[in-house]
């Protein structure tokens, strides 16, 4: 919730009691991360496997991004389905990304500052990903591909079918 007055604004970014009430989940966040990106930077789709899988609570501090999650839980009714939402510094909404989901975002504003809480530490050996232009998922990133700025590592990620076999 954002509280505004003549001095500016106050925003409670995390309240464990409210989080548990809204999500119905008890999550112990142990690491906070923040990235800064320019227009068109696409990060993802990333996830970790096994004991190092991560749940995340994500938000935009500055700017606007399209945030995308893909359900990778093979026993789920929504396996292979995706969800996207625009997160920005105006609405101040947050998205909870449970374990078992791939996550990515693209910056739609000139720059963005993106913050996320994780319930597990980053582990390079457990890191996985899915290519951003996967034909099975048919994701709409809201920008022309000629505007994308993607790391070399993310350009080499496997397809959804390769990653989930």
Q: How confident is the model at residue 2 (pLDDT cuts 50, 70, 90)?
A: confident
All structural domains of the chain, each given as residue ranges with its CATH number in brackets, are 28-163 (2.60.120.10)
Distance of CA 3 to the CA centre of its chain: 25
Residue tagged active-site, from 47, 82, 103, 116: 116
Residues 54 and 120 sit within 8 Å (Cβ to Cβ): yes
Is 116 one of the annotated active-site residues of the chain? Answer: yes
Catalytic entry in 14, 46, 47, 133: 46
Q: Can you give the pTM of this predicted structure?
A: 0.92
* 46 among known catalytic residues: yes
pLDDT tens profile 83-135: 999 999 999 999 999 999 999 999 999 999 999 999 999 999 999 999 999 99
Task: Tell me how far apart the terminal alpha carbons of the chain are, to the nearest angstrom.
Answer: 41
Q: Which residue has the higher pLDDT, 61 or 12?
A: 61
As to burial, measured by CB atoms within 10 angstroms (0-12 exposed, 13-18 middle, 19+ buried), residue 159 is: middle
Residue 123 in tokens: 């582990």
């Amino acid at each position: 919730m954002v509280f505004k007055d003549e001095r500016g604004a106050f925003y409670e970014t995390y309240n464990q009691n409210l989080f548990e009430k809204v999500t119905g989940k008890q999550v112990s966040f142990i690491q906070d991360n923040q990235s800064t990106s320019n227009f068109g930077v696409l990060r993802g789709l990333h996830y970790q496997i096994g004991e190092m899988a991560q749940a995340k609570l994500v938000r935009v501090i500055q700017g606007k991004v399209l945030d995308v999650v893909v359900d990778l839980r093979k026993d789920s009714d929504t396996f292979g389905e995706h969800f996207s939402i625009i997160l920005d510094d105006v609405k101040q909404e947050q998205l909870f990304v449970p374990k078992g989901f791939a996550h990515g975002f693209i910056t739609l504003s000139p720059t963005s500052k993106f913050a996320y809480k994780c319930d597990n530490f980053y582990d390079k050996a457990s890191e996985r990903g899915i290519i951003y232009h996967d034909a099975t998922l048919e994701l709409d990133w809201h920008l022309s591909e000629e505007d994308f700025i993607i790391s070399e590592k993310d350009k080499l990620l496997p397809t959804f079918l390769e990653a989930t076999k």
